[in-house]
Structure 1
């Protein structure tokens, strides 16, 4: 809707982040480099918004409820991952305990904000003017302590809260993956028996994500966690997908045609059968 106004270089930023994620460097270096890129882009976004006049309240709410949080969540995520990896202990038991405690912290954070999380995830809008317009009195029970880059002209009562929730989604997936990949010696391995020879997915990322979500919805692979299924498919098909599964699914839901790839597969099979 309005996203291209605020992020004219979004494709360039996404390409840089994807290149970093694909590179053969440590997670500490990846998260640090990604943070640098996103911090610079964040500062540019802030400068733009401070000189920009929203067309109406609807546009302002969209920016602070959707556009800014989705961008800031990535910056929060990479900064948090950097800190996690910098302080990560040695030894499998200590690492599992360390990562599990961080995961518990995320769950405690979410539990204290369940009402707001339900409001946001249910796409409710009746309190949007209080939550996502600037200059409103804060009526929230839990105030965020984060004040880095805080500016009343660039912040609302809840835009950071949304960004933190989205970042926590990504962090939870990251932490669960890391816990699963630890062996008794503290060495990360894939335990699912990946094939020695990979084949490369030639379709779009959105098409593959649509397929994976459909498999998970139908329980095709049993009780395999969605994050584990994503990791396995990424490895087998030699592709890097968005780690924010919640955002990926939201993107699928808002498309005019919700299942274009599944429809394409069905039509291709019917033509092969001579039934179309």
Structure 2
């Protein structure tokens, strides 16, 4: 029940925060709407957990290690994006690039400051999960000293730290994307900025949306905890394209009547099979 509820709520939070971000409201209104929506949906999840508890310790660890950070990371990401946009300087390419690079440096320093926990997060280690992601575990470990205190009945300190890692990684992709946009608009500054090795999606955007939903449905990212909004945003940042609001793009796919709902992936499958058949035929010919 908890897994089904959390997946539904996460998809709802992602979709609604995305719509707020692309809405017509002024920045302050977007910030307030985003905060209210995040607080409301996370509150529903926390109330369910407080009322029903966990089936076992494994479910509790999974909740505080993966599920809950997924929600808080979205709140953190949009909070930071709005705060950055509030402080974005008015000026030319060089000034904007320097601003974004300073923000990137701040995030990287945060990762360095918490290098032990960030390494644990990135490697997917599990050795200390019982100390990090169980509410009634002992909190006097020297490893936990210096971490921000959180409300004991809603989150553990390492759980919230994992949420920050996840949210800041998304923010890092956004900032690097903005640096690339500015660099591409200012040829004279290119030699002073490290290459970000951008690849550009030149096919139909809806094809990439199909891939995004395929990844989401098959739970291929972050052990299945990544929501469709995060996956769409990640692919969009990687390939320098705006995939739009996931719920609206899903409606486009679902409404198809004159073609397959998975047209692009069907074509991709046929192309791969054809390539395999051609390779096998060529190898058979070479051995004869």
Q: TM-score, normalised by structure 1?
A: 0.67
Shift of 1:159: 0.3
Pairing 1:37-186 to 2, within 5 Å after superposition? 37-92=37-92, 93-136=94-137, 137-139=139-141, 140=143, 143-145=146-148, 150-182=150-182, 183=185
Shift of 1:29: 6.2
Q: TM-score, normalised by structure 2?
A: 0.64
Q: Determine which structure has the larger helix proportion and give its number.
A: 2
CA contact (8 A) 2:135 2:152 kept: yes
Q: Which runs of 5+ in 1 are unaligned?
A: 185-191, 211-226, 243-258
Q: Which runs of 5+ in 2 are unaligned?
A: 187-197, 217-232, 247-264, 282-288
Q: Does 1:15 align with 2:18?
A: no
CA contact (8 A) 1:130 1:157 kept: no
Pairing 1:205-216 to 2, within 5 Å after superposition? 205-206=211-212
CA contact (8 A) 1:32 1:82 kept: no
Which residue is 2:243 aligned to?
A: 239
Shift of 1:28: 6.9
Range with bigger deviation, 153-162 or 263-272: 263-272
CA contact (8 A) 2:61 2:133 kept: yes
Shift of 1:239: 2.3
Count of aligned pairs between the two proteins: 229
Which of 188, 192, 210 is the aligned partner of 1:204? Answer: 210
Pairing 1:260-271 to 2, within 5 Å after superposition? 265-267=271-273
Shift of 1:111: 0.8
Q: Which has the larger radius of gyration?
A: 2
